[in-house]
Amino acid sequence: MHQSNDAGPGRARPPLQRTTVLRCAGAALTGALVFAVLLLLVRTGWPPLARLDRGWASLLHRYALRHPVWTAAMQTFADLGAPWVMRTLLGAVAAWLWATRTRTLAAWAAAAALLGWAADRAGRALTDRPRPHFADPVAVAPGPSFPSGHALASAVTCGALLVLLWPRAERPVRAAAGGAAALVALGVGWTRIALGANWPSDVPAGWAAALVVLAAPALALELWRPGRIGRDVRRLRRRARPRVQRVLAPPLPPVGAAGPAGLGGAAGPAGLGGAAGPDRPGGPAGPSGLGGPSGPSGSAWSVGPLSPVEPVGRAESAAERDPGRS
Q: Going residue by residue through the chain (326 aa), what tens digit of pLDDT does each one get?
A: 344 444 444 455 566 667 878 888 999 999 999 999 999 999 998 999 999 999 999 999 999 999 999 999 999 999 999 999 999 999 999 999 998 888 889 999 999 999 999 999 998 888 888 999 888 888 888 888 999 999 999 999 999 999 988 877 888 899 999 999 999 999 999 999 999 999 999 999 999 999 999 999 999 988 888 878 778 777 777 765 554 444 555 666 777 655 444 444 444 444 444 444 444 444 444 444 444 444 444 444 444 454 454 444 444 555 455 555 44
Domain-embedded: residue 98: yes
User: Residue 311: inside a domain, yes or no?
Assistant: no
Residue 178 lies in a domain: yes
Residue 204: count of CB within 10 angstroms of its CB: 16
- Is 295 contained in some domain? no
In this prediction the pTM is: 0.67
**Which residues contact residue 275 at a Cβ distance below 8 angstroms, ignoring those fewer than 6 apart?**
266, 267, 283, 284, 285
**Residue 224 falls inside a structural domain:** yes
- Nearest in space to 145 (alpha carbons), one of 160, 162, 161, 127: 127
- Give CA separation, 4 vs 1, 14, 230, in Å: 10, 11, 14
Within a domain: residue 110?
A: yes
Measured distance CA(92)–CA(252) in Å, rounded: 52
Query: Is residue 294 assigned to a domain?
Result: no
Percent of the chain with pLDDT over 90: 47
pLDDT score for 282 = 45
Number of domains into which the chain is organized? 1
Give yes or no for a contact between 229 and 220, defined as CB atoms under 8 angstroms apart: no
Quick count: other Cβ atoms within 10 Å of Cβ 130? Answer: 11
Query: Taking the mean position of all CA atoms in its chain, how far away is CA 279?
Result: 63
Question: What Å distances lie between residue 76 and 72, 90, 128, 139, 186, CA to CA?
Answer: 6, 20, 27, 11, 15
Residue 265 included in any domain: no
CB atoms within 10 A of CB 203: 25
Q: Which amino acid is at 315?
A: A
Residues 6+ apart with CB under 8 A from 39: 123, 126, 127, 146, 205
In angstroms, rounded to a whole number, what is the distance separating the alpha carbons of residues 13 and 2? 17
265: amino acid identity, one letter: G
How far from 31 is each of 35, 215, 254, CA to CA, in Å? 6, 9, 68
Residue 204, amino acid: P
Whether the link from the prior residue into 147 is cis, omega within 30° of 0, is: yes
Domain boundaries, position 231 = 18-127+143-240
Residue 274 corresponds to which amino acid? G
